[in-house]
Amino acid sequence: MILRRTRILVPLLAVSLAGVAAFAPPAAAQSKSDKAILKAGVITKADVPTGWTSKKASSSDKAYQGIAECKDLKAALDNAKKKTPRVQSREFEEPGTRGTTSAADTVYAFKNTSAAETFLSGYQAPDVPTCLEKGAAKAVKSQPGAGAPSVSPVTDLEGVGDGAVGYEITIPISAAGQSATVYVDLIAVRVGRAFVGFNFSNLEAPISDGPAIVQTVVARVAAAQGSA
């Protein structure tokens, strides 16, 4: 298919506000229990299909600068960046997909459940879908063949962790007379005092491995807190 053209859309992983501003080394001191949560919360090689490769994740929040609907959420992220222990996973991808099928996440260890609940609530705000749509549109504005992105809620998160919200960004693309759709799924989950932001991408359909990866990581984070 038009994988050469879709390669340019991989930076849309930056659209994951769960990971935006989380790519610097952790600024906050980590307790023993924090470290257990952070270790449990990152996606590992064992969590993805056999044969997937990985690389150090990188991203930018420039697409969100100047967007009014992103202001509150970005402020909360910037604050968490400074005060909350966090770790980001490597970016895993399926070989041969040129980065269009991928998975990554970022985990935060908040001081208490209340702080994690407040952080999650930022992703449930009414402005978030518009923030994501405008940010995605800005990110692909200069990309040949990319159409207008749209955002819809992920509706199968009932019972995931202690609270969850998700958004699916779809971007139509076309090249050489062919067309396809890139799917970017952003899943935010609270588990006790932990918060995990998942980021998945795939071509032509939502990533099939995403739900299993989420459940595996969430169970591991819950167990880490239960044994702390």
* Alpha-helical regions (H) of the chain: 3-6, 32-41, 71-83, 113-123, 128-140, 210-226
Q: What is the pLDDT of residue 4?
A: 39
Query: What average pLDDT does the chain have?
Result: 84
pLDDT digits (tens, 9 = 90+) for 49-76: 999 999 887 655 666 778 899 888 888 8
- Number of compact structural domains in the chain: 1
Q: Is the pTM value of this prediction over 0.95?
A: no
Average of pLDDT values for 203-228? 91
pLDDT class for 28, splitting at 50, 70, 90?
low
Q: What is the pLDDT of residue 141?
A: 82
Average of pLDDT values for 19-47? 76
Q: Are 187 and 158 in contact (CB under 8 A)?
A: no
Q: What is the CATH number of the domain that holds 69?
A: 3.40.1000
Q: Pick the residue with more confidence: 99 or 14? A: 99
Whether the pLDDT of residue 147 is over 80: the answer is yes
Q: What is the pLDDT of residue 80?
A: 85
Secondary structure of the chain: what % helix, strand, coil (to 5)? 40, 25, 35
Q: What is the pLDDT of residue 227?
A: 54
Residue 213 domain boundaries: 3-226
Distance CA 170, CA 182 (A): 6
